């Protein structure tokens, strides 16, 4: 049982990196969908010609978040803020959202004394509702695996508030965390009960996408790509990207013969913010299928998969030692 759970932790963090690296190849917020045929030309053939597929901000921030939780044995706002900002100052080439660098500069100027202060000032005091805190929240679900759902939700909220204080930004992070948490408890050999999955999540979210179950039903009953896109959106805001990632996972993984690759390819076909939707769907699906079922060829080509694998083991060992 313990090997099985370790395999899921690994699948989760490595799956998130794969979705980010492959998604980065397609990112174009002006597009409404990409045909699966076109996606697969890259994901099944052309990627092999690349030397390496680079990760973006999604992976960079996920790493920092997990490292901070591990080094502090829990949440330390000053430390997490410092890791996010220093990672950005060390490497600004990772395609960060348009406004989040303002937060990093203000954090640094104030020597990280008020980790939520700069985020609170974003967008005239309304806070960011971008998907940037949902895209990096995955380690929270692993770290709190043996703790109450309430504790998991509180930790997700705290990690979000360092850059994203708008309710939609926070709820997006909670939703993604809950999807990973739920996926961790499932067995890929058994039928995936889409509605039980959604019911559990909805109790712990405020107003984010209460329409999600209705939309999922419609999506499963044969909406075409453009209809799905307008039902969920595919953009850089949390209320679009997170439901899109959850929908992509549920619609594909519920069919027994589908694989991790099918989930990612479908997520990328939604177009738009593909690295982020891909990374979030990759975390949920990687967790569901487990590391041993992830495509080896993809793992070899993507930057950062070894780090994610090792970090998953550290999180697993931490959880086993502290929360037995
Ligand atoms: P963010 O906090 O800058 O939010 C992203 C964007 O959402 C902002 O730049 C605004 O346009 C908009 N936004 C958020 N909150 C508000 C608000 N209260 N009022 C008005 N507009 C708002 O950054 P983030 O960390 O949330 O980043 C999200 C995405 O950006 C990620 O998917 C990431 O991959 C990245 N991204 C970067 C590029 C690039 O080329 N630099 C392109 C697409 C996405
Ligand atoms: Mg990105
Ligand atoms: Mg993105």
Gap from CA of 4 to ligand 2 centroid (Å)? 30
Contacts of 38 (CB under 8 A, 6+ apart): none
Domains of the chain: 2-322 (1.10.4080.10)
pTM more than 0.90: yes
Closest-CA residue to 276 (of 145, 101, 94): 94
Report the alpha-carbon distance of residue 238 to residue 107 in Å, rounded.
23
Q: Is 240 in the pocket of ligand 1 (CB under 6 A)?
A: no
Q: Quick check: CB of 166 below 6 Å from ligand 1?
A: yes
Q: What's the 324 CA to ligand 3 centre distance in angstroms?
A: 36
Task: Report CA(276)–ligand 3 centroid distance (Å).
Answer: 4
- Structure-token pair, residue 45: 């053939």
Q: Point out the ligand nearest to the CA of residue 20.
A: 2
**pLDDT at 33 (0 to 100):** 87
Give the residue from 1, 4, 15, 8 showing the smallest Cα distance to 279. 15
The verdict on the CB of residue 169 being under 6 Å from ligand 1 is no
ipTM above threshold 0.90: yes
Q: How many Å apart are CA 70 and CA 157, to the nearest integer? A: 18
237 Cα–ligand 1 center, Å: 7
Q: What is the pLDDT of residues 165-185, one digit of tens each?
A: 999 999 999 999 999 999 999
Q: Is the pLDDT of residue 206 over 80?
A: no
User: What is the average pLDDT across 216-239?
Assistant: 75
Helices (H), the chain: 2-24, 36-40, 57-72, 77-90, 100-109, 117-125, 138-143, 149-160, 167-184, 194-203, 212-220, 225-232, 238-253, 260-269, 274-289, 296-301, 305-322
The whole-number pLDDT of residue 174 equals 93
* Average pLDDT across the chain, whole number: 93
Place of tokens 């490595």: 14
Residue nearest to atom 16 of ligand 1 (CA): 128
């Amino acid at each position: 049982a313990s090997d099985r759970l370790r395999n899921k932790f690994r699948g989760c963090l490595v799956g998130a990196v794969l979705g980010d690296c492959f998604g980065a190849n397609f990112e174009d917020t002006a597009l409404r969908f990409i045909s699966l045929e076109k996606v697969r030309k890259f994901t099944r053939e052309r990627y092999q010609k690349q030397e390496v597929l680079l990760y973006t901000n999604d992976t960079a921030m996920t790493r920092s978040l997990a490292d901070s939780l591990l080094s502090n044995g829990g949440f330390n706002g000053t430390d997490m803020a410092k890791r996010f900002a220093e990672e950005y100052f060390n490497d600004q080439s990772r395609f960060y959202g348009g406004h989040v660098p303002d937060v990093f500069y203000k954090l640094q100027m104030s020597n990280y004394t008020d980790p939520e202060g700069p985020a609170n000032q974003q967008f005239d005091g309304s806070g960011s509702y971008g998907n940037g805190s949902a895209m990096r929240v995955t380690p929270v679900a692993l770290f709190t695996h043996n703790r109450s759902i309430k504790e998991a939700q509180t930790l997700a909220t705290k990690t979000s508030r360092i850059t994203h204080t708008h309710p939609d930004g926070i709820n997006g992070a909670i939703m993604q965390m809950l999807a990973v948490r739920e996926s961790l408890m499932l067995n890929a050999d058994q039928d995936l009960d889409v509605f039980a999955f959604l019911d559990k999540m909805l109790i712990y979210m405020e107003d984010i996408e209460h329409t999600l179950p209705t939309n999922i039903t419609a999506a499963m009953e044969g909406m075409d790509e453009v209809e799905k896109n307008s039902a969920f959106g595919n953009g850089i805001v949390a209320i679009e990207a997170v439901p899109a990632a959850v929908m992509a996972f549920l619609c594909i993984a519920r069919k027994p013969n589908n694989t991790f690759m099918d989930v990612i390819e479908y997520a990328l076909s939604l177009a738009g913010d593909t690295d982020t939707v891909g990374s979030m769907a990759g975390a949920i699906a990687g967790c569901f299928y487990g590391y041993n079922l992830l495509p080896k060829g993809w793992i070899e080509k993507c930057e950062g998969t070894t780090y994610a694998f090792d970090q998953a083991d550290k999180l697993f060992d931490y959880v086993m030692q502290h929360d037995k």
